[in-house]
Amino acid sequence: MSYHQFIDHEGYEYGSFEVFYDIASLTLTGKPVQEGFYWWPCFPGCIPDSDPMGPFDTEEEAIKDAQQDW
């Protein structure tokens, strides 16, 4: 698990997202997830703001996807 900041198109950092590896579990809304790397908007120590996005094969792919979505 690692935390990163979103970066806008001008290079300014804002917000936070968490990247993590999940073997098999359920989302906050009870949907099953596949094995892989995921990300979700989340500040350290807080409840995530959405279901996880993914799965991705690598942590780098998850980080890249998070930066493109925001």
**Digit-coded pLDDT (tens) for 29-60:** 777 778 899 999 998 888 888 888 999 999 99
Given a cut of 60, whether residue 61 has pLDDT beyond it is yes
Provide the residue ranges of all domains of the chain, joining segments of one domain with +. 2-69
pLDDT (0 to 100) of residue 37: 94
pLDDT (0 to 100) of residue 30: 77
Q: What is the pTM of this model?
A: 0.74
> Using 50, 70 and 90 to split pLDDT, how confident is the model at 70?
low
Spatial contact of 24 and 32, defined as CB atoms under 8 Å apart: yes
- φ, ψ for residue 27, nearest 5 deg: -75, 180
Of residues 15 and 20, more confidence is placed in 20
